Chains A and B, each alone.
Chain A
Amino acid sequence: ETGVTQSPTHLIKTRGQQVTLRCSSQSGHNTVSWYQQALGQGPQFIFQYYREEENGRGNFPPRFSGLQFPNYSSELNVNALELDDSALYLCASSSSGQETQYFGPGTRLLVL
């Protein structure tokens, strides 16, 4: 069974740029959730995707957007990057009808 994978592992961008992060869900999982984890904090929910549609959103501005593909993989896009967007971005997959979410290793984004 393949676990949750994310790419890239690290990324450096400058303020105002755009970034795309990718996530492949665990085998058999059809739901993907994205979280932002700032240094020294717990993960904060960004949004969730199910059946290729957004299925719940946290307190993040519209410049945070996402996609889910027919194979259940997902992308997180962030436009107009700000310094405070520097964080570890975590993807978690789960199966509809089962609450437990399993996390990937994360992508560490640094915005200069």
Chain B
Amino acid sequence: GQQLNQSPQSMFIQEGEDVSMNCTSSSIFNTWLWYKQDPGEGPVLLIALYKAGELTSNGRLTAQFGITRKDSFLNISASIPSDVGIYFCAGQPTGANSKLTFGKGITLSVRP
């Protein structure tokens, strides 16, 4: 099935550093979401974006909905050990309750 493009597959950063992750698609989405998944658990919603160009923050997390509606980025500032996990972007086409299309995820490791 279709997936969004997330790369690289893994990222390794030092505690305290900032990190940015991109997500791109060949299709237009009307909603972009970023989720974090820890081992053995379901994805947890971090940030939801509903409007092209929108920039939204949630604590140390900032995400933007690309103007073309085909991309989004997530930035984590001043990383801490508990930021370790898999970060997924997901796009949702128009209409409430429509399906989510996910990227393959980026595994983030934070060195203390």
The chain A residues found within 8 Å of chain B, CB to CB, are 4, 6, 31, 33, 35, 40-45, 48, 50, 55-56, 58-59, 90, 92, 94, 96-106, 108
Contacts and interface: CB of A to CB of B under 8 A. Distances in A.
A99 B98 contact: yes
Contacts of A108: 40
B66 interface: no
Contacts of A44: 1, 102
B44 A103 contact: yes
Nearest 6 CB-CB pairings of A with B? A42-B102, A103-B42, A45-B99, A105-B42, A103-B43, A106-B42
Given A31-B97, A42-B105, A48-B97, A99 B48 contact: yes
Contact of B3 (A42, A96, A97): A42
